[in-house]
Amino acid sequence: MQSFAAVDVIIAKRDGRELSDAQIDWVIDAYTRGIVAEEQMAALAMAVLLNGMTRGEIARWTAAMIASGERMDFAGLGKPTTDKHSTGGVGDKITLPLAPLVASFGVAVPQLSGRGLGHTGGTLDKLESIPGWRASVSTAEMLDQLRGAGAVICAAGAGLAPADRKLYALRDVTGTVECIPLIASSIMSKKIAEGTGALVLDVKVGSGAFMKTVETARELARTMVDLGTDAGVRTVALLTDMSTPLGLTAGNALEVRESLEVLAGGGPPDVVELTLALAREMLAGAGLADVDPVPALADGRAMDSWRRMIVAQGGDPDAPLPTSREQQVVPVPADGVLVGLDALKVGVAAWRLGAGRARKEDTVQAAAGIELHAKPGAVVRAGEPLMTLHTDTPAAFEAALADLDGAWVIAPEGTRPADRPLIIDRIA
Ligand code: URA
């Protein structure tokens, strides 16, 4: 491989020039091996954030990150594979009902997931509230589970896109996370290396998401769909609303409970709508475009698939979920119509109650979080419960309540809340 001086690569991007394939291959490889220093990569990431990358540069950057580690291969499974990735939001528990629902149709769902950082929850943290369940699964166990249970939700092994692992941690502390080329290449390098045949991206838009506007979300979605398609993965994206929390719960065990309601044929309408929309896309990507996922929630097939998936990873699907030591009810302040409930404020308050972590090393409280008793559009009465805060550390209530200041808007009765569809757009 041709080598370069790291400073020349930084200067090229600082001055707005396009990096060559050889420069990109070298800088990612050398950074992974510790030859490019952290401060040099930080400067390069900031230059990319400020000056952007062309479609060709993003594709090469992604390929170089994939090449930094191993690639998984599910070709021997004998069934199609399909996966979903969400860019993260508040109350986004969709993977929990979705993976077993799709697996109940004989499709393999290898779902490598992460832990939460900041106000967005992590799928692994949620599942770890189930007694006995473990996130770490070897590649051989993963293949076995995909053959049997059909779905596996687990932590990505350290060998998958190690360049991204290092770079993401660096971006987190250098103000370089919010950069479409870097987000797109980070997500897609892991998804392409994972070896799925089809991929559905749930790109969140709104206060509780990375992308605050439809325009930036659309650009991120387009970039990721192009990367996936160019790499031979059938990829589509849905842009979905994250201005208000998804469902009625934010917090680990609370979200597992709500997911079980969906798997039992009930659950909040928005969680059901998004689960079904993403299931249809995943099934279509796996060649089952004509299949209707609705009956599998009603007749228990998806729940059976969930139980197999949980048991295969050591979990007890019948064990009671943890409950919080302390609760505090927040009452509705005035009669009217709830027209707004801010996702970011609810997410930050849930995090403050113990549902999330501030640093990677922190632990989370399984039972902490927020349960909503009303969603935008509901008629509410003063004094009724608006939400219940859950925590094991009651000293956190005061700060959580401060975070919730201004989180809701109650308008006079008869007001119609702004129409905001849950599914805003589809990008293929
Ligand atoms: N998730 C990732 O995996 N990478 C990013 O850059 C942002 C979100």
Q: What pLDDT score does 120 carry?
A: 77
Residue with CA closest to ligand 1 atom 5: 183
Say yes or no to pLDDT of 157 above 90. Answer: no
Say yes or no to pLDDT of 121 above 90. Answer: no
Superfamily of domain 6-52: Transferase, Pyrimidine Nucleoside Phosphorylase; Chain C (1.20.970.10)
Q: What pLDDT score does 238 carry?
A: 98
Q: What pLDDT score does 418 carry?
A: 83
The rounded distance, in Å, linking the Cα atoms of 126 and 314 is 15
Say yes or no to pLDDT of 363 above 80. Answer: yes
Q: How many residues does the chain have?
A: 428
**Pocket lining: 112 vs ligand 1, CB cutoff 6 Å:** no
Say yes or no to pLDDT of 416 above 90. Answer: no
What's the CA-to-centroid distance between 422 and ligand 1, angstroms? Answer: 22
Ligand 1: residue of 48, 112, 113, 187 to mutate (most ligand atoms within 8 A of CB) is 187
**Pocket lining: 187 vs ligand 1, CB cutoff 6 Å:** yes
Determine the average pLDDT of the residues in 240-249: 98
Say yes or no to pLDDT of 181 above 90. Answer: yes
Q: Which candidate, 365, 102, 119, places its Cα nearest to that of 111?
A: 102
The rounded distance, in Å, linking the Cα atoms of 4 and 165 is 23
> Which of these is catalytic: 68, 186, 207, 324?
186
Share of the chain above pLDDT 90, in %: 92
Contacts (Cβ under 8 Å, ≥6 apart) of 275: 94, 97, 98, 101, 262, 297
Residue 85 appears among annotated catalytic residues = yes
pTM: 0.96
Where is pLDDT greater, at 44 or 362?
44
Q: What pLDDT score does 48 carry?
A: 98
**Pocket lining: 186 vs ligand 1, CB cutoff 6 Å:** yes
Residue 25 appears among annotated catalytic residues = no
What's the CA-to-centroid distance between 114 and ligand 1, angstroms? Answer: 10
**pLDDT tens-place string over residues 184-234:** 999 999 999 999 999 999 999 999 998 999 999 999 999 999 999 999 999
Q: Which candidate, 410, 238, 414, places its Cα nearest to that of 332?
A: 410
- Where along the chain do its domains lie? 6-52, 75-312, 326-411
Determine the average pLDDT of the residues in 369-396: 98
Residue 165 appears among annotated catalytic residues = no
Give the DSSP letter string of 93-109: -THHHHHHHHHTTT-BE
- The pair phi, psi for residue 39, each rounded to 5°, is -70, -30
**Mode of pairing for the β-strands spanning 385-391 and 326-331:** antiparallel
The atom number, within ligand 1, closest to the CA of 182 reads 6
**pLDDT tens-place string over residues 294-324:** 999 999 999 999 999 999 999 999 999 999 9
Mean pLDDT of the chain: 96
State both tokens at 358.
């501030």
Give the DSSP letter string of 106-157: T-BEEEEE---BTTB--HHHHHTTSTT--S---HHHHHHHHHTTSEEEEEPP
Confidence tier at 51 by pLDDT (50, 70, 90): very high
The rounded distance, in Å, linking the Cα atoms of 416 and 428 is 33
Helical residues (DSSP H) of 173-265, grouped into ranges: 180-194, 214-230, 252-263
Confidence tier at 257 by pLDDT (50, 70, 90): very high
Instruction: For residue 86, give the H/E element and its range.
Output: strand 82-86
Q: What pLDDT score does 196 carry?
A: 95
Residue 13 appears among annotated catalytic residues = no
Confidence tier at 260 by pLDDT (50, 70, 90): very high
Determine the average pLDDT of the residues in 351-374: 92
The rounded distance, in Å, linking the Cα atoms of 188 and 107 is 21
CATH code of domain 326-411: 3.90.1170.30
CATH topology match: 6-52 vs 75-312: no
State both tokens at 417.
């809340």
- From the candidate CATH numbers 3.50.50.60, 2.40.40.20, 3.40.1030.10, 3.40.50.11540, the one assigned to the domain spanning 75-312: 3.40.1030.10
Residue 241 appears among annotated catalytic residues = no
